[in-house]
Amino acid sequence: MPQNSSKKERIKLLHRQFTSDFRERILDGRLPVGTRLPTDNELAAEYQLSRDTIRQALALLADEGLIERVQGRGTFVCQPPTEDSGVRSVQAEKQIGLLLSMGYRQGGTFPQDILIGVEQAVKSHGYSIRLSYTEGDPAQQMREITRMSSNHVAGLIICPVASATDADVIERLQTTSIPLVFVDRYLSEVAVDYVGADNRAGGYRATEHLIILGHRRIGFIFLAEETLETTSSVRERWQGYCEALQKYGVPYDSSLVIADADPKYASTLPGIHEFLQRPDRPGAIFAVNDLVALDVMQAAHVLGLRIPQDLALVGFDNELFAARITPPLTTIAQPFFDVGLRAGSLLVNRIEGNTSAPKHIELPANLLIRESCGAQLHVLRAQRARLAPESGDLLT
């Protein structure tokens, strides 16, 4: 695992160096307009990089307007885009770019509530929003960041794609003095403002609640595409899970931490099915988000497991469907609207001259207790246990 991680970091570094080298040579005139670049194979051999890495780097340079790839002829240096010595248009100056990563959240409350919060914060200052959904695609996110920055938006609010490796693009944007604010998740290697929910505290509260209900074997399930290493929100929820176990003296069992399959194939879910069929399966599960919790419900139904009688369940996000499914889902509610409101206000302050150190703002995430966790059953059983000696009833 460390070797693979080291190899990926080396590839990222070489990709950045290659892109930065060509960008500088074009901008300072060492590669004049009209220069024909070597072929992809020649560049791959010269820089000892894969053809895919070369293509990705050249695609980024093309998106920036620095090169043009002409089919059948080759790749040529273009006239670098320049800003007028005059002033940008008032309309462009008063626009804020908002990049939201839909991904697995399609149909959820997250994008809409963030958007409404941002809009309310910025419109009173005369700013409008240029919105883009990146559909969970890192390459699309890179293109949209480049496009918006080249169109001179005043600032950017970005929900980073979970598997993104575009820190080089964001670092380059920082050098152009475009203010940035991350929402929902962040890239730890990039020092910019961030606004999101307190994921660690939310994960702690969800796990603590299950422990208080008497559970000791508690599973944690996250999306395979959103790893503990690459996705800050997932990592912090897992950290909260671990802290609650430690606080209450419950041993951490790595076999109880698994990844959910791609939700596009939720009908099969082999990972969750096998997990719930184990003889030592958990009695409770903390799902990293409500859609993963829904996957667990579907798998449990197929296997004949009742929620919460056989399996207690807690989600995260409080999606619209959470209170409407059967049984209603206990979950951690994120203040998405407030996240958008704070992010919009913070970005406007940056645009208008606030140069203080980057802020890392975490807003409270609250536990909403519904039926899926079994709290009601727990109370009823406790009441029956107290009544049983008096009535002679042998209730379970």
pLDDT digits (tens, 9 = 90+) for 142-190: 778 878 877 778 999 998 876 555 566 666 666 667 899 999 988 877 8
What's the pLDDT at 283?
96
Which of the two residues, 315 and 135, has the higher pLDDT score?
315
Residues of the chain with pLDDT > 70, as a percent, come to: 80
- In what helix (H) or strand (E) does residue 259 lie, and over which residues does it extend? strand 257-260
Q: Chain-wide mean pLDDT for the chain?
A: 82
Bridge-based pairing of strands 366-368 and 331-333 is: antiparallel
Judged against a pLDDT cut of 50, whether residue 95 lies above it is answered with yes
Q: What is the pTM of this model?
A: 0.72
Judged against a pLDDT cut of 70, whether residue 372 lies above it is answered with yes
SS3 65: coil
Determine contact, residues 78/33, Cβ cutoff 8 Å.
yes
Segment 58-85 mean pLDDT: 75
Q: How many residues does the chain have?
A: 396
Judged against a pLDDT cut of 80, whether residue 365 lies above it is answered with yes
SS3 85: coil
pLDDT in tens, 18-46: 877 787 788 777 888 888 889 988 888 88
What does 301-316 look like in DSSP terms, one character per residue? Answer: HHHT--TTTT-EEE-S
Beginning with the edge strand found earlier in the chain, give each strand of the sheet holding 155-158 in spatial order.
128-133, 95-100, 155-158, 180-183, 193-197, 360-363
What's the pLDDT at 10?
64
284: left (phi over 0), alpha (psi -120 to 50) or beta: beta
What single letter denotes the amino acid at residue 266? Answer: A
Cα Dmax for the chain: 94
Do 199-334+367-384 and 92-197+337-364 have the same topology in CATH?
yes
Residue 147 sits at φ, ψ, to 5 deg, of -65, -45
Weakest mean pLDDT among 25-34, 192-201, 316-325, 333-342: 25-34
SS3 145: helix
pLDDT in tens, 200-221: 999 999 999 999 999 999 999 9
Residues of the chain with pLDDT > 90, as a percent, come to: 45
Judged against a pLDDT cut of 50, whether residue 55 lies above it is answered with yes
What single letter denotes the amino acid at residue 387? Answer: L
Lookup result for tokens 């422990």? 211
Q: Is the previous residue joined to 327 through a cis bond, with omega within 30 degrees of 0? A: yes
Domain borders along the chain are: 2-77, 92-197+337-364, 199-334+367-384
pLDDT in tens, 344-357: 999 999 999 888 99
The CATH code for residues 2-77 is 1.10.10.10
The CATH code for residues 199-334+367-384 is 3.40.50.2300
Position 49 confidence tier, pLDDT thresholds 50, 70, 90: confident
pLDDT in tens, 222-252: 987 777 887 899 999 999 999 999 999 999 9
Determine contact, residues 106/165, Cβ cutoff 8 Å.
no
The CATH code for residues 92-197+337-364 is 3.40.50.2300
What's the pLDDT at 265?
41
Cα radius of gyration (the chain): 25
